[in-house]
Structure 1
Amino acid sequence: MRRTARLLTGTALAVVAASGPAATAHGADAGRLEVYPPSVLPGGEVSVNTRACGGTTGAAGDASAVGAGPFTLAPGTQKGDAIGQFQVPPGAQPGTYEIVAECAGDGRLVRGDLVVGLTEAETRMQPRGSVKTGVGGSVDRDPVRTAAGVAALAVAAAGGTWLLHRRVRGDDGI
């Protein structure tokens, strides 16, 4: 029994330790960059804003993924907002592009997605929101909950393997 407890504890600790660096990386990405409109035609104007930078400092935006290059986010009129704009190049290819901004005060990174379509219909038909299935979703990126979930799965897998191993050996304890 002691050996099993060590095995389960060791497996759980290994899984939590392995997910540690990923949890730290996601912690640096706290916040969201809102992109409006979320879908645009090549040549269109895009506005971005975020509350992650605190609003007293601006941010350095980067739309190089879509070919627009760097842009500036300045403190907005609403408290806590940093706002900026850029133009999507006329030759931009259709697809989804990640737009990034780095807060001037603390270097925090915020990200948002921009969808570029070739026709007006493509930009309007992009799916938005979530599907109401009643099962839940993966929207929450809390690293502690993620690590706890991974650890629980690892413990369940190790326990199941141990039980199967006992059954094959004939150690049912009866």
Structure 2
Amino acid sequence: MRRTARLLIGSALAVAAAGPVAAPAHAAAAGSLELFPSSVVPGEQVTVTTTACADGGPATGDSSAVGAGAFTLAPSTPEQDAIGEFRVPPSAQPGTYEITATCTEGGRKVTGDLVVTLTSQRQQVHPRGSVKTGVGGALGPDPVQTAAGVAALAVAAAGGTWLLHRRARGDGI
């Protein structure tokens, strides 16, 4: 039992000693480039945010992959990040494009993906108009034709009822 306790205590001390050594490797992965919205149609404006630059310092953005060119990311006071904007050109083709930003101090480079589509997913499209099936509808565009159809059905129903009644009495047809 003592041997197991010594083994566990030794393992815990080894993990505790290795902790500070492993921390900087994880901290280096912090900071990314966020795009809002991340999916746009040509002609829309995109806001770019990053926390990768020291103390929210300035950065230079590059959106030439989508055809928009360079833009500037300026420091933002409350969140300690850098913010910039660019407009996707109307001539942009659908696809996924890599947008980059390079911090002015230190030269750190971060990337993010922008998806360009032909239709916006934020707006719901409701169908309008009628379906051209060739059958017609109960309430078509012409009320006179609708009334004539209803009258024809009423005459046919009355005639059928009269014929069935005569047959049931034995009068024949």
Instruction: Tell me the TM-score normalized by structure 1.
Output: 0.52
The residue that corresponds to 2:92 in the other structure is 92
RMSD (Å) for aligned C-alpha atoms = 2.3
CA distance in 2, matches of 1:47, 1:87: 9
The residue that corresponds to 2:70 in the other structure is 70
Greater relative CO (CA pairs within 8 A, separation 6+)? 1
The residue that corresponds to 1:21 in the other structure is none
The residue correspondences of 1:1-174 to structure 2 (distance < 5 A) are: 31-121=31-121
Please state how far the C-alpha of 1:78 moved relative to its aligned partner.
Answer: 2.3
Please state how far the C-alpha of 1:77 moved relative to its aligned partner.
Answer: 2.8
CA distance in 2, matches of 1:101, 1:75: 13
SS in 1 for 2:54: coil
CA distance in 2, matches of 1:123, 1:105: 40
- Stretches of structure 2 that go unaligned for 5 or more consecutive residues are 1-26, 125-173
Listed one character per residue, the Cα deviations across residues 79-119 of structure 1 (whole Å, up to 9, x for unaligned) are: 32000000000000000000000000100001001000001
| Partner AA of 2:110 in structure 1 | V
SS in 1 for 2:97: strand
- Stretches of structure 1 that go unaligned for 5 or more consecutive residues are 1-26, 125-174
CA distance in 2, matches of 1:41, 1:109: 26
- Max Rg structure: 2
Sequence identity percentage:
59
Instruction: Tell me the TM-score normalized by structure 2.
Output: 0.52
In the alignment, is the contact (CA less than 8 A) between 2:95 and 2:115 conserved in 1?
A: yes
User: What is the aligned length?
Assistant: 98
| Greater than 3 Å deviation, 4+ residue runs | 27-30, 121-124
